[in-house]
Every structure is written in structure tokens, then in C-alpha cells.
A and B are shown apart, each in its own frame.
Chain A
Amino acid sequence: NAGVTQTPKFQVLKTGQSMTLQCAQDMNHEYMSWYRQDPGMGLRLIHYSVGAGITDQGEVPNGYNVSRSTTEDFPLRLLSAAPSQTSVYFCASSYSGGSEKLFFGSGTQLSVL
């Protein structure tokens, strides 16, 4: 099994550009989520989804959009990139959220110049 696959691994954007970070899982997990990890800040939840067609905001949702059209995919869109969005982004999934084991992707390192 591939688990949770994130693409790209690295990305450099200019301020104002838009892009989509891809996340796919092959474990038939209902729960998927996006985190950002910044030095000294730990992992912060951006958006999450408890199933296809259902999404909700996390702790730091501003500047990001998500959609969940299939169980497998949960893309994260940056509408107009800002330097404050420079971070490492992780996608994670689990069977049903809560206390279930979270499976993380290997991350996307994003730099916004």
C-alpha cells in the first residue's frame, strides 16, 4: 500500500500565485486533514474532512480552500500565496478521526517569495 501520498515534495511560489497541494490515500479512510508545521509552532490544523462532500475549518484556515469530491483525494488550494504561508504542509488520514491513528504523508515544503 502507498498510504498517504503528497505531491509535490518541494515548491517555490511568488507572492500572489495560486497552487494546489495534492493528497491521496489508498486506505479507504473517511477522515482526512491538512496541517502546517512551522519552527517553534508545532503542527496546526488547517482544514479537515470526515467524508466525501464534507469539510470543516481547523485552527488556521485563512488563505486556504479544500474540497473532498472523492474518499481518496483531499487537495489543498492556496488562493493567493503570501510569505506567511511558507511552511511544511502535511496531509494526514485516519479511519474516522478522533483517537484513531493518523497516517501522515511525507510533507510538502513550500516557500513563498
Chain B
Amino acid sequence: TQLLEQSPQFLSIQEGENLTVYCNSSSVFSSLQWYRQEPGEGPVLLVTVVTGGEVKKLKRLTFQFGDARKDSSLHITAAQPGDTGLYLCAGQNSGGSNYKLTFGKGTLLTVNP
């Protein structure tokens, strides 16, 4: 099983601050996805990155896939209370079954007004 380590596990910040959360592994992934989950709901896909070194932007969110495709980061600029939620990264195995996604344990972000 390929493991994904997310850090930090918890993050509480004030509105307007910037933050970065990390997703790291010793294994190579074919692709990596970021999801956001709100209480009582299922995760919702934010982005998929597939190329080493790839950077994608979604409004105030910037996602980067590491050159070696073993790690990824999510940077939020000027966080807002609406960004509060559990952020999960998920990697597609590069070997064996292509159908399985491995999820990290998540970063629980709280943005205080």
C-alpha cells in the first residue's frame, strides 16, 4: 500500500492569512487529486494534477505536484471562512491496479472571521 502523509493535521488561522498544506509520500503516483470535505458531506474534487512539476490555480488556491510525483502542496491565499473544511489528497497508484486511490488522513482547516 502506498502511503500519503498530510501535514499539518490541524490548522486554525484568521481570515486573510495565507497557508500551505502538504501531501508527501516515498512512492511515485501517476496522478494526485485534492478534495475538500465539509461536515456531514462527502468529499468534493478540487483538482487533479498528473505531470511532475505541474502547477494549477483555482481562484485563491494553488496546487503543485512535485517534480518526482511523490509530493504535492496546496497553498491558499487570503483565506476566508468559506475555506473551512477537511482537505484530502489522494494518489493514483503508479503500479499494480490503476483503479485504486490512496487517501491521506487529511488537514482540518478552520478559518476564523
Contacts and interface: CB of A to CB of B under 8 A. Distances in A.
Interface stretch (A38-46, A64-72, A74-82): A38-46
B48 A48 contact: no
A104 B55 CA distance: 25
Given A42-B88, A104-B44, A105-B42, A97 B103 contact: no
Interface residues of B, number: 26
Interface stretch (B14-22, B67-75, B77-85, B94-102): B94-102
A21 interface: no
A99 B99 contact: no
B43 interface: yes
Nearest to A97: B99
B88 A98 contact: no
Given A101-B45, A106-B41, A45 B100 contact: yes
Interface residues of A, number: 25
Contacts of B35: 102
B31 interface: yes
Contacts of B41: 104, 106-107
A102 B88 CA distance: 13
Contacts of B92: 98-99
Contacts of B45: 101-102
A101 B41 CA distance: 16
B40 interface: yes
A44 B90 CA distance: 11
Interface in A79-113: 90, 92, 97-99, 101-102, 104-107
25 contacts: A35-B103, A40-B105, A42-B103, A42-B104, A43-B43, A43-B103, A44-B103, A45-B101, A45-B102, A50-B99, A56-B97, A58-B100, A90-B42, A97-B98, A98-B31, A98-B98, A99-B30, A99-B31, A99-B50, A102-B90, A104-B43, A105-B42, A106-B40, A106-B41, A107-B40
Interface of A: 4, 31, 35, 40-45, 48, 50, 56, 58-59, 90, 92, 97-99, 101-102, 104-107
